[in-house]
Structure 1
């Protein structure tokens, strides 16, 4: 296993730190977006497998911190059904991570990110009726997020779409999704460690970028109440779309 601090130039690491800084800001200000932004963009610098695991490790810390600061706004009914579904489906995601090739993983990253961004830009804002209040439906959404969490470290899209459809208030949305992220990440971390999916290079990248992610998260949390959520959401989803398209182009054309 290569030594990241020797084989990656300092300026590449600086760019990666900037990526996780911006991703942390998005995560705390909008409630989601850390992995959706950091994984496809970061995959342009390091291998898709390495960036997936590195961002997963970082998101474990970020989501736990956000959950603790917003716990009084958690909608427990939604949090429980989504978390249970996610935990049940996570082993499948670990298997996909271990068996997928780098090019295929990059292609999946591009497709999932682009689809999520297009949905948010063109469809989600037009929904006028809430999703059905069903434990089964919520559990299925959680299951999809669980597979994405341990395989691609991008479990946000199904959760975001579902919770938007449930018409939660902004503070409830951010708190509930942060709780689901925390539970999913805690269980997923155990599974990744048990499956020997965490390598030395992942821990090195995690240690290098954690401070930048923490600073971005803190700034985003302080600015959340001051940001026009409609225009901020448009900006976030536009950046996600660009990141997804970039990954698709690289996967298809090299």
Structure 2
């Protein structure tokens, strides 16, 4: 609870990244990767519903539908991965992925941003779905896709 509480304060201040912060903290505290995924997904669902209601006028529902539908096959592959790999491999994979996502987020964005293509949205949706069920880090792919870009239709 302390890990998630601290991560939620940082995530609330920045607007994203709660799972990105909570995951390594819970790994260090000895929490199993499967439990981390469940906790992060539940907290993420609750907070995203509240934000969606508040910002519903600004949501690009077409992009949400595309990313959401594309995430389903990725999530299914993630479930297969979790069932095939022992936890001893998932824990370091989640830690490495957290570091890589953090590093990617500090890279500068393109000086001439363009809205992402349909194919890019689908690919990011699938990667986000995969990450959601394997490590609960479904947010960073979407943040990387949309950050610093003019993502209006």
**Cα 1:75–1:31 shift into 2, 3 Å:** farther
1:1-254 → structure 2 map (5 Å cutoff): 17-45=1-29, 46-121=31-106, 123=107, 125-131=108-114, 133-168=116-151
| 1:28–1:66 CA contact under 8 A, matched in 2 | no
Give the drift of 1:133: 3.7
Task: Mark the runs of 5 or more structure 2 residues left unpaired by the alignment.
Answer: none
Task: Mark the runs of 5 or more structure 1 residues left unpaired by the alignment.
Answer: 1-16, 170-254
In terms of fraction of residues, the more helix-rich structure is 1
Give the drift of 1:167: 3.0
Please give the per-residue CA displacement for 1:160-213, whole angstroms capped at 9, x wherever unaligned. 1101153359xxxxxxxxxxxxxxxxxxxxxxxxxxxxxxxxxxxxxxxxxxxx
Structure 2 counterpart SS, 1:43: helix
Larger RCO (alpha carbons 8 Å, 6+ apart): 1
Larger CA deviation: 70-79 vs 156-165:
70-79
| 1:95–1:151 CA contact under 8 A, matched in 2 | no
| 1:82–1:141 CA contact under 8 A, matched in 2 | yes
| 1:129–1:165 CA contact under 8 A, matched in 2 | no
TM-score after normalising by structure 2: 0.86
| 1:90–1:150 CA contact under 8 A, matched in 2 | yes
Aligned residues: 151
Give the drift of 1:152: 0.9
Larger CA deviation: 17-26 vs 135-144:
17-26
Give the drift of 1:151: 1.3
Let me know the Cα RMSD of the aligned residues.
2.0
Q: Distance in 2 between matches of 1:38 and 1:104?
A: 19
Please give the per-residue CA displacement for 1:140-165, whole angstroms capped at 9, x wherever unaligned. 11110000001111111111110115
Structure 2 counterpart SS, 1:79: helix
TM-score after normalising by structure 1: 0.54
**Which is greater in Rg?**
1
